[in-house]
Amino acid sequence: MSTAAGADHGHAHPWYQAHHFKNMEQQNASNKFGMWLFLVQELLFFAGLFMAYASMRYFYPGTWLEAAEQLDKVMGAINTVVLLTSSLTMALGVRAAQLGQNKQVAAWMVATIAGAYGFLIIKYFEYSHKIHVGLLPGKWFGFDELKTTATNAPQIFFSVYFMMTGVHGLHVVIGIGVIFWILFRALRDEFGPENYAAVENVGLYWHLVDLIWIFLFPLLYLVR
């Protein structure tokens, strides 16, 4: 709608204001409110996974203790730091957008994307190690060491692990996509004091992705 020039309706508005909004205030408030609702929705989506985690851990407390040993705590911890840092660079990017400093927005977005890639690369190493030794979900599970101890259902732990980190990882990938979109728009010098809602919303999304990892890390890696 933004292409429809305001002029022929008699009331002019900036190009970044969509036609059906009366003013920027309304548009920004709507966008932000919409984003918060989206985040609530995301939280409930993950809540389902957390419930599955809780029930399975309740059924198999012993399994959880033993199987969690197989995860690489160091890599998990590094990844936590990487994501936290990228949240920081994201926040700085939002700040720059509010000030209309598009060059800096771009720079911070590049930094955030780098963090996101860093996270995925580390995750890739973790995953490939698990795939290699057979620490896999469900019927693909093939790690004999755990099979023969008193632990039962270790495959369920890894099912939960892969479902949770997989869905989270998917969110990181989507995050990279939208951050690239912000980067692109920053390079075209689009943001300014009135028009930064997109950056802010992507920022909120990214913080949520980060927040979820902050829960995943202790729940999966640091079981005791």
Partner 1 sequence: MTMLLPLMTASAARAEGGTFWMPKAASTYAQDVDDVFYFIYYTDAVFFAVLMAAMILMAIKYRRKGEAEVTPVIKGNHTLELAWSVFPTFLLVAMFWLGFKGWMNMAVPPADAMEVRVIGQKWNWTYQYPAANIDGVDYPSFEVAGADAACMDRVTDPSRDIECNAALVVPAGKPVKLVMNSRDVLHSFFVPDFRMKRDVIPGRYTQQWFEAPEVGEHNVFCTEYCGDRHGYMYSKVQVKSPADFEAWKLEQHKKAAASGLVSGAELGAQLFASKGCAGCHKIDGTKLVGPWLNGKFGTVEQLEGGATVTIDEGYLRESILVPGAKVVAGYPPSMPPYQGQLDDRQVEGLIEYIKSLK
Partner 2 sequence: MSTSTLDGVGHGAPGTSYLNAKSGLMSWLFTIDHKRIGVMYLVTVLSFFLVGGLLALGIRTELLTPAGDVFSAAVYNKLFTLHGAIMVFLVLVPAIPATLGNFLLPLQLGTIDVAFPKLNLLSFHIYLLGAFFLVFTLVTGGVDTGWTFYTPYSSTSADGNVVAALTGAFILGFSSILTGLNFIVTVHKMRAPGVTWLRMPLFVWAIYATSVIQVLATPVIAITLFLLIFEKIVGIGIFDPALGGDPVLFQHFFWFYSHPVVYVMVLPAFGVMSETITVHSRKHIFGYTAIAASSIAIAAVGFIIWGHHMFVSGQSELSGTVFSLLTFAVAIPTAIKLCSWIATLYRGSIQWNSPMLYSLGFLWIFAIGGLTGLFLATLSTDVHFHDTYFVVAHFHYVMMGGVLFALIAGMHHWWPKITGRMFNDKIGRINWVLAFVGYNLTFFPQFVAGSQGMPRRYHQYLPEFQMWNQLSTLGSYLFGLSLFIILAYLLHSIFKGVKAPSNPWGAASLEWQTKSPPVEHNFEADVICTYGPYDYDAHRAAQS
Which residues here bind partner 1, judged by CB under 8 A?
59-63, 66, 148-153
Longest CA span, the chain: 77
Q: Find the length of the chain.
A: 224
Q: Give the residue with the Cβ less far from partner 2, 112 or 155.
A: 155
CA 158 to chain centroid: 21
Rounded distance, CA 189 to CA 100, Å? Answer: 8
Q: Which does 23 bind (CB under 5 to 8 A by kind): partner 1, partner 2, none?
A: none
Q: Which of partner 1, partner 2, none interacts with 61 (beta carbon under 5 to 8 A by kind)? A: partner 1
Phi, psi (rounded to 5 degrees) for 208: -65, -45
* Interaction site with partner 2 (CB under 8 A): 1, 8-9, 18-20, 22, 26, 29-30, 33-34, 37-38, 40-42, 44-49, 51-52, 55-56, 59-60, 137-140, 152-153, 155-156, 159-160, 162-163, 167
DSSP secondary structure string for all residues of 40-93: HHHHHHHHHHHHHHHHHHHH-HHHHHHHHTTS-HHHHHHHHHHHHHHHHHHHHH
Judge whether 166 and 172 are in contact, CB under 8 Å: no
Q: Is 6 helix (H, G, I), strand (E, B) or coil?
A: coil
Q: Which is nearer to partner 1, 17 or 63 (CB)?
A: 63
- Which of partner 1, partner 2, none does residue 64 bind to, with CB < 5 to 8 Å depending on kind? none
Closest to partner 1 by CB, 59 vs 140, is 59
Q: Which does 155 bind (CB under 5 to 8 A by kind): partner 2, partner 1, none?
A: partner 2
**179 token code pair:** 């951050």
Q: Which does 110 bind (CB under 5 to 8 A by kind): partner 1, partner 2, none?
A: none
Q: How far is the CB of 17 from partner 2 (least distance, A)?
A: 13
What angle do helix axes 61-68 and 24-59 make, rounded to 10 degrees?
A: 110
Question: Measured between alpha carbons, how far is 115 from 83 in angstroms, rounded to an integer?
Answer: 6
Nearer to partner 1 among residue 26 and residue 152 (C-beta)? 152
Q: How far is the CB of 47 from partner 2 (least distance, A)?
A: 7
Least spacing, CB of residue 49 vs partner 1, in Å = 21
